[in-house]
Structure 1
Amino acid sequence: MDNSGFELHEETPPSPSVKMERKKQEHPGEKKSRWSLLNIFLVCLLACAITTVLGVLVLSLVYTANTGFKPKYDASSQKHRAASVGNSVTSAQVDPKFQFLHQLAKAKKHEFPGGTIQWSRFRKNANEYQNKEEMAFGRSINAQRSKMTFGTLRIKSKGLRAPHWHFNANEHGYLLKGTAWIGVVDAGGNTVTTYNVTAGQVIFFPRNTVHWLKNVGTEDCLFLLFFTTHEELQTLDLDDTFFLTPEDIAARSLKPQGGVAFIRSFQRQAEDQAVNLPPNLAELVQNPNYQQSEDPLVWRYFFDLKGSTEFRFPGGIIQFARYVKDGKGLSTNERIYSEFLHSKEDALTLGTLRIYSNGLRQPHFHFNANEMGYVISGCGQVGIIVSPSLTTDFTIGVGDVVFFPVGTQHYIKSTCDEELVFILAFSTANQLQTLDMDDYFHRTPDHILAQLFFKKQDEFKKIPHFNEDQAINLP
């Protein structure tokens, strides 16, 4: 070989000292070279470590600058949290009132062949909000874990809200106008409950219960719907599940005449049929039957709110579709609804609030429920106190949705010549617990109030007691 380093030596091996001397002669710079490579490696390793540390510090500074993160609690961070109510848009970006107000009348209309749906809800994808105000409301009801979402459902004459069910919410509905035929399929499919509803009545569908709504009148039906979730509502329609099921599986399950060929004869429509109304309905359907089931079945899912007890006050009227312990004051049918409602997790209390012109639903708060309401008619002013650092008031009109988190004091005043009317939902299936301003003032000793407000004790005798409850009062 040319390279002496790879030569074979068959003679007697040299001594160790000779080997060392030979190595020095053959590779005089090898030791120095090895140390140079090690030094280069160590320098590179140190450089990488320094670069990594600097990168982390830069990213941390950028994150802090963008988010305003404070690693330590202080009053200013608490004020910022209150002003934003959890994850909602900060007050620097949008008026704080929109954490409690959504102008649903201006919201996107989801159009279907048989009607329209509009939403006041939380969306995971921020791009699905129309504007910052809508985002503030959606994030607010989510951050407060309100267990409420609201929507309006308009069904044209003869239109059908397709049979469907909701994974993550019970549904409570109020029919504002029209006439509808409702169907509910119980677990196991052994019982189908059908019934008719007219304006002013309440319907209830427990989570994961298949149900449909059919307009059987000549005018549009308008449903005001509350769902017991502050997350995105998860729904499956019957037609979607059918077309997403493999043909052979559907054929084997349904066992129709013609088998798979019959299943293949179904054609999926290009337009979403969530609210369905075929143009050739007359030739498709002959002699429809809109029968009503027996009362004990119907009254589990139905409540005649317009015919229920009226709680009258000087300035207005309240009516409730709710659970009442031991059924006290309820009719036989109302008691069926009350007990069925109470048996379901996360059910709601529904009610209508009617405030006469210039009437005031005085400042109050609820111990055990968030509140959400939709303005049916009239106009008014709302005020809400969330914390000493967050108070707001705003005007409301038809189509607006309001939200009051549990424990927050709020008032509602009618400011039009006509009555202000709401449909309200409260996130409790128990009896609603409420405290009005006049009640907690009257129950606090005068000497405590005098000390608190720097006012003579006798001055508080000027606050009168009334025989009639002043929850809704007139001047």
Structure 2
Amino acid sequence: MENSAFEMHENVLPSTPSSGKVNISTGLEKKSQWSLMRIFLVCLLACIITTLIGVLILSLVYASTYRPYANIKPEAHRTPETPTDPKSENPVDFKFQFLNRLHKSKVFEFPGGAIQWARYRNNLKDYLSVEEEAFGTSLNRQRSHMTFGTLRIKSNGLRAPHWHFNANEHGYLAQGTAWIGVVDDGGSVVTTYNVTAGQVIFFPKNILHWIKNVGTEDCLFLLFFTTHEELQTLDVDDVFFSTPEDIAARSLKPQGGVNFIRTFQKQEEDQAVNLPPNLAELVTKASYLQSPDSLVWRYFYDLKGSKEFRFPGGIIQWARYRKNGDGLNVNEKIFSESLNQHENSLTLGTLRIYTNGLRQPHFHFNANEMGYVISGCGKVGIISTQGTTDFNIGIGDVVFFPIGTQHYIKSTCDEDLLFILAFTTGNQLQTLDLDDYIHATADHILAQLFFKKQSEFKKIPKFTEDQAINLP
């Protein structure tokens, strides 16, 4: 053998065992067997320990993730996810996806008035609170085509001539008297008109317009814009001062040329709502002309003077498009057609609910809805695929109901609850009330669904008078 160690052992071992002496070969074999046994036992013990550790880990993972099947809820009924306040780590109440406390929002002050917003913002730092952020994010996520703001103009104040890149504008004058100007394509037609409280204004996207307070009290406009993105606006003074002097001089050709252009001084304070302290010196004569009705009614609607749709529990009035112009006078037809001709225009309306009256649960097929509380107080309930919520509302609150979301509004004060509402359709609004779809569903279908005898559904009366807004 080539292995010398093996050869040495072979020579040492006797050919026959001797009595009374230790058998060296047997001892070595036993020692070798014990060594192998010890290795085997160590390996076995290691395997057992490894297996126990693995079982323990799996048990911990299983215990942390397992949920009994009985506790799993369908997706539509799960508790909705809500934003979290990064400062306090408290979840934001689900209701703020549908509610904005506008009176608590930031007031943007100008020399001639103020603006407040309920809207989406690109920069999260522009939100004052996580509740405001939840509302703005909801508008954007739902692609609502809606932004809301209040515009307050002091007596003689002016909302500077401006236009919006990405939205039509619909406004409701809640207080005061104003003079409106709209400049059409090419500037050859300028439409001017006066509005008073309860009337509606409409400015299509990229149309230059201005608003001047011509009364003695503040004007308060409630404004809706058809965008769920950040509203993009340009004021005439900002454009003017951003234009090179020589370009402005060549375009306007004033006496004195570029030297005249240089006499204009940009104010330090934003003049979006303008009111110079020396206005009496600057303006000596001012005329507030009224254009012909054929022009005015493209941008104006007398909502307070329109037909009242009366219900047991309240009244609705509409500034909207109607097919075939049914029930509209000549001027109202002009406005109706103007809405329908412009993409993404809105339907506006006022909703008055008497004390203890109820705008019963309903939803809209073809529009998101946004509303502002003008007076009174109430309670709102919402049922959506994300969850269910209800909350109290009062003056200055803004509510938002996504398309297809069932909702109700109840008046809970001693005075009427009054809303201005906007719907994202320039077509005829399509709505379905709870009592209408219950009556329209076969009673045997209802019996099967609710586990009640078919005859029981005869107890639900059908009224001749529409119960859209009802009283107990």
TM class, shorter-length? 0.7 to 0.9
Mapping 1:352-391, distance limit 5 Å: 352-387=350-385, 390-391=387-388
Asked whether the 8 Å contact 1:88–1:139 carries over to 2, the reply is: no
Q: d(CA) in 2 for partners of 1:96 and 1:400? A: 16
Q: Is 1:324 the equivalent of 2:330? A: no
Q: d(CA) in 2 for partners of 1:99 and 1:132? A: 11
Q: Which residue in the other structure is 2:312 paired with?
A: 314
Q: Which residue in the other structure is 1:462 paired with?
A: 459
Q: d(CA) in 1 for partners of 2:327 and 2:413? A: 34
Change (3 A) 1:397 1:160: same
Q: d(CA) in 2 for partners of 1:337 and 1:469? A: 27
SS across alignment from 1:323: coil
Asked whether the 8 Å contact 2:84–2:90 carries over to 1, the reply is: no
SS across alignment from 1:309: coil
Asked whether the 8 Å contact 2:78–2:387 carries over to 1, the reply is: no
Change (3 A) 1:89 1:470: farther
Q: Is 1:282 the equivalent of 2:267? A: no
Change (3 A) 1:83 1:188: same
CA shift, 1:93, in A, is: 1.9
Asked whether the 8 Å contact 2:183–2:208 carries over to 1, the reply is: yes
Asked whether the 8 Å contact 1:88–1:99 carries over to 2, the reply is: no
Q: Is 1:186 the equivalent of 2:184? A: yes
SS across alignment from 2:210: strand
Match of 1:414 among 399, 411, 416: 411
Q: Is 1:203 the equivalent of 2:201? A: yes
Q: Which residue in the other structure is 1:65 paired with?
A: none
Q: Is 1:231 the equivalent of 2:235? A: no
Change (3 A) 1:310 1:92: same
1:24-63 Cα deviation digits (max 9, x unpaired): xxxxxxxxxxxxxxxxxxxxxxxxxxxxxxxxxxxxxxxx
SS across alignment from 1:83: coil
Asked whether the 8 Å contact 1:116–1:155 carries over to 2, the reply is: yes
The letter for the 2-side match of 1:227 is: F
1:273-322 Cα deviation digits (max 9, x unpaired): 00000000000001101001111000000000000010000000000000
1:398-446 Cα deviation digits (max 9, x unpaired): 0000000000000000000000000000000000000000000000011
Q: Which residue in the other structure is 1:348 paired with?
A: 346
Q: d(CA) in 1 for partners of 2:266 and 2:197? A: 34
Q: d(CA) in 1 for partners of 2:146 and 2:466? A: 29
Query: What percentage of residue pairs aligned between the two structures are identical?
Result: 75
Q: d(CA) in 2 for partners of 1:405 and 1:341? A: 21
Asked whether the 8 Å contact 2:226–2:424 carries over to 1, the reply is: yes
Match of 1:423 among 411, 415, 420: 420
Q: d(CA) in 1 for partners of 2:114 and 2:99? A: 22
Please tell me the root mean square deviation across aligned C-alpha atoms, in Å: 1.7
Q: Which residue in the other structure is 1:93 paired with?
A: 91
Q: Which residue in the other structure is 2:431 paired with?
A: 434
CA shift, 1:80, in A, is: 10
Q: Which residue in the other structure is 1:47 paired with?
A: none
Q: Which residue in the other structure is 2:112 paired with?
A: 114
CA shift, 1:218, in A, is: 0.2
Asked whether the 8 Å contact 1:88–1:135 carries over to 2, the reply is: no
Change (3 A) 1:94 1:438: same
Asked whether the 8 Å contact 1:88–1:137 carries over to 2, the reply is: no
1:81-133 Cα deviation digits (max 9, x unpaired): 98248x99899620000000000011100000000000000001101000000
Asked whether the 8 Å contact 1:88–1:143 carries over to 2, the reply is: no
Q: d(CA) in 1 for partners of 2:78 and 2:412? A: 32
Flag the structure with larger Rg: 2
The letter for the 2-side match of 1:169 is: A
Change (3 A) 1:376 1:351: same
Match of 2:444 among 444, 447, 453: 447
CA shift, 1:238, in A, is: 0.2
How many residues are matched? 399
Q: Which residue in the other structure is 1:155 paired with?
A: 153
SS across alignment from 2:80: helix
SS across alignment from 1:369: coil
Change (3 A) 1:196 1:307: same
Q: Is 1:262 the equivalent of 2:264? A: no
Q: Which residue in the other structure is 1:305 paired with?
A: 303
CA shift, 1:187, in A, is: 1.1
The letter for the 2-side match of 1:328 is: D
Change (3 A) 1:80 1:94: farther
Q: d(CA) in 2 for partners of 1:422 and 1:160? A: 26
Match of 1:126 among 119, 124, 133: 124
Q: Which residue in the other structure is 1:25 paired with?
A: none
Asked whether the 8 Å contact 1:89–1:136 carries over to 2, the reply is: no
Q: d(CA) in 2 for partners of 1:216 and 1:298? A: 18
Q: Which residue in the other structure is 1:294 paired with?
A: 292
Asked whether the 8 Å contact 2:84–2:91 carries over to 1, the reply is: no
Q: d(CA) in 1 for partners of 2:357 and 2:435? A: 16
Asked whether the 8 Å contact 1:165–1:208 carries over to 2, the reply is: yes
Asked whether the 8 Å contact 2:77–2:387 carries over to 1, the reply is: no
Match of 1:215 among 200, 213, 216: 213
What TM-score do the two structures reach when normalised by structure 2? Answer: 0.83
Asked whether the 8 Å contact 1:88–1:136 carries over to 2, the reply is: no
The letter for the 2-side match of 1:466 is: F
Q: Which residue in the other structure is 1:48 paired with?
A: none
CA shift, 1:77, in A, is: 11
Q: d(CA) in 2 for partners of 1:284 and 1:342? A: 41
Change (3 A) 1:95 1:203: same
Q: d(CA) in 2 for partners of 1:162 and 1:89? A: 37
The letter for the 2-side match of 1:112 is: F
Match of 2:101 among 88, 103, 121: 103
**Contiguous gaps of at least 5 residues in structure 1:** 1-74
Asked whether the 8 Å contact 1:152–1:224 carries over to 2, the reply is: yes
1:171-213 Cα deviation digits (max 9, x unpaired): 0000001000000000111100000000000000000000000
